[in-house]
Structure 1
Amino acid sequence: MAAPFSRQTIAVALVIYAAALGFALLVPYGAVPSSGASWTAELAARLGAPAWAVEPSRWEFLANALILMPLSALGSLRWPRTTWRDWTAYAFVIAAGVELAQGLFLPERSATFTDVVANTLGGLGGAAVVLAGRRLRRTPAA
């Protein structure tokens, strides 16, 4: 079975996503991520979600995890020999670098260890999704 996307298409998507991610993570103001988490928590409360699901910090953690998933997923597709362990380590290095840059050069942003943990888990998640997809494609139909 042929791959659904060419390596070149994946590479282009990876470059575009990496550029957008770099902008989003290094923009000098931090109100957008926090306001997005607050808005989501308020929506969850209006929809009757349980108390643990209406805490903005939980939504911010989830958003921080999800933001790196496409990067590691696209990277895993582009470079199939890299493992989920590699992408988890890359995500950690990227997240630590971003938080360091935010802490040193962007006083409007908050540099936190929690963001590093969330981003690292997102890197693991993206690579794990690709790994699971590959295993499913190899599994013969019963």
Structure 2
Amino acid sequence: MNSSEELPLADSSRVVLRRSVRRFALWGLLIYGVLVLVVVFWPRHVDEAVAPALGSFFGWLHDLGVPEFINYQALEFSANVLMFVPLGFFLACLFWRRWYLAIPLLCCLSVGVELLQAGLLPDRTPSGSDVLANSLGGLLGALIQGIRFQRGLRRAKAS
């Protein structure tokens, strides 16, 4: 069998792989997206019940000498970053070759979420730092998939 006869099989397996990745990403986005929507549109702050305990915990840490910048706000910011990493990853998987399109889309999504919170949920506190954290998380998730995609292209070209 010469190389031209092997090419359709290689192309066929790439199509199957792309479909599998997109199916995985679509299901991941749907399931995880619903969970994120529940969190961001919960009528009250989702950490309301544990906020006093967390405040005490960070006070205790600070008494032990842990730097003051490690605090509740840093935890909340980090949680917002982490919450959007999977969204960035799944969206980038759906966009495949144009994985980078997930980045501005997630930034717009984050702004939209904060605007809806401001307009519809009086007990929630929308903020620019949430937009920044969510956007950074989406960026990280998309970059993870982008790097994986680029490495896959290099491996395919090398073989």
1:117 to 113, 132, 149: 132
Letter matched to residue 40 of structure 2: L
Equivalent-residue separation in structure 2 for 1:73 and 1:108 (angstroms): 30
Residue 87 (structure 1) aligned with residue 102 (structure 2): yes
Report the TM-score when normalising by structure 1.
Answer: 0.79
Give the conservation status (yes or no) of the 8 Å contact 1:88–1:123: yes
**1:4 to 1:90, Cα distance in 2 relative to 1, 3 A:** closer
Deviation at 1:27, TM superposition (A): 0.7
2:42 is aligned to 27
Deviation at 1:106, TM superposition (A): 0.6
Q: What do the CA deviations read for 1:37-85 (whole angstroms, capped 9, x no partner)?
A: x739937938x6831553111111111111111011011112203232x
Q: Any gaps of 5 or more consecutive residues in structure 1?
A: none
More helix by share: 2
Letter matched to residue 117 of structure 1: L
Equivalent-residue separation in structure 1 for 2:25 and 2:103 (angstroms): 19
2:143 is aligned to 128
1:62 is aligned to 78
Give the conservation status (yes or no) of the 8 Å contact 1:40–1:59: no
Number of equivalenced pairs: 139
Letter matched to residue 101 of structure 1: L
Equivalent-residue separation in structure 1 for 2:55 and 2:18 (angstroms): 33
RMSD value, Cα: 3.3
Deviation at 1:34, TM superposition (A): 8.3
Give the conservation status (yes or no) of the 8 Å contact 2:88–2:138: yes
Deviation at 1:19, TM superposition (A): 1.2
Q: If you compute each CA radius of gyration, which structure gives the higher value, 1 or 2?
A: 2
Report the TM-score when normalising by structure 2.
Answer: 0.72
Q: Any gaps of 5 or more consecutive residues in structure 2?
A: 1-12
Deviation at 1:134, TM superposition (A): 2.4
